[in-house]
């Protein structure tokens, strides 16, 4: 019975390990290298990265900004993936932590990005929220491995 119990415990542990995502599974299995499993790519071919510097960092301003962003993003169906975040505060010479918020949107094509730019909800967001920021910086990119 002892051997059977040990076998079942090892089998259960292996099943649990196999249920984990690939990178986590490799690290927990003791390889020490996550690079053996290729990282997932960002969905979409066109990446639209927007950095906002708010007029102030008070909760009312930040709250209104986030509310306006989330409200308009829900209305535009050509957006494939989205991210809204604050500066991480990492302390390295090459890192710019001066911005208030970063929004990254992905699209399947540059044509979908153009639809987003002209969309009434995007235009309404700019009208409603532009008084909340002092600066906006945009970086657009197209995936180069296609």
Q: Which domain holds residue 8?
A: 2-36
User: Cβ–Cβ contacts within 10 Å for residue 38, how many?
Assistant: 9
- 12 has pLDDT over 60: no
The per-residue pLDDT for 25 is 38
Residues 61 and 132 placed together within one structural domain of the fold: yes
- 135, 52 contact by CB (below 8 A): yes
Domain count, the chain: 2
Q: What's the rounded Cα separation, in Å, for the pair 87 and 75?
A: 26
Residues 75 and 136 placed together within one structural domain of the fold: yes
Q: What's the rounded Cα separation, in Å, for the pair 71 and 76?
A: 10
Q: What's the rounded Cα separation, in Å, for the pair 100 and 97?
A: 8
- Across residues 4-33, what is the average pLDDT? 45
Instruction: Select the more confidently predicted residue: 8 or 17.
Output: 8
Residues 88 and 128 placed together within one structural domain of the fold: yes
Min mean pLDDT across 29-33, 38-42, 61-65, 87-91 is at 29-33
Residues 31 and 91 placed together within one structural domain of the fold: no
Instruction: Select the more confidently predicted residue: 3 or 135.
Output: 135
Residues 32 and 53 placed together within one structural domain of the fold: no
Sheet of 46-54, strand order: 81-86, 101-107, 46-54, 133-142
pLDDT in tens, 64-78: 999 999 999 999 999
Residues 12 and 69 placed together within one structural domain of the fold: no
pLDDT in tens, 35-73: 455 566 778 899 999 999 999 999 999 999 999 999 999
Q: What's the rounded Cα separation, in Å, for the pair 136 and 40?
A: 29
Backbone angles phi and psi of 104, in degrees to 5: -120, 125
13 SS3 class: helix
- 134, 53 contact by CB (below 8 A): yes
- Across residues 123-128, what is the average pLDDT? 96
CATH number at residue 56: 3.30.70.100
* Whole-prediction pTM: 0.71
Residues 28 and 81 placed together within one structural domain of the fold: no
Residues 79 and 107 placed together within one structural domain of the fold: yes
Residues 73 and 8 placed together within one structural domain of the fold: no
């Amino acid at each position: 019975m002892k051997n059977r119990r040990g076998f079942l415990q090892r089998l259960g542990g292996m099943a649990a390990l196999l249920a984990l995502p690939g990178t986590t599974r490799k690290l927990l299995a003791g390889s020490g290298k996550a690079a053996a499993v290729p990282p997932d790519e960002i969905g979409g071919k066109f990446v639209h990265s927007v950095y906002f510097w708010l007029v102030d960092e008070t909760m009312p301003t930040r709250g209104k900004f986030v509310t306006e962003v989330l409200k308009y993003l829900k209305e535009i169906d050509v957006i494939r993936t989205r991210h809204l975040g604050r500066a991480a505060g990492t302390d390295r010479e090459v890192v710019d932590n001066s911005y208030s918020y970063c929004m990254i949107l992905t699209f399947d094509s540059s044509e979908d990005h153009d639809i987003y730019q002209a969309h009434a909800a995007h235009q309404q967001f700019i009208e409603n929220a532009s008084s909340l920021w002092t600066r906006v910086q945009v970086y657009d990119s197209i995936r180069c491995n296609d």
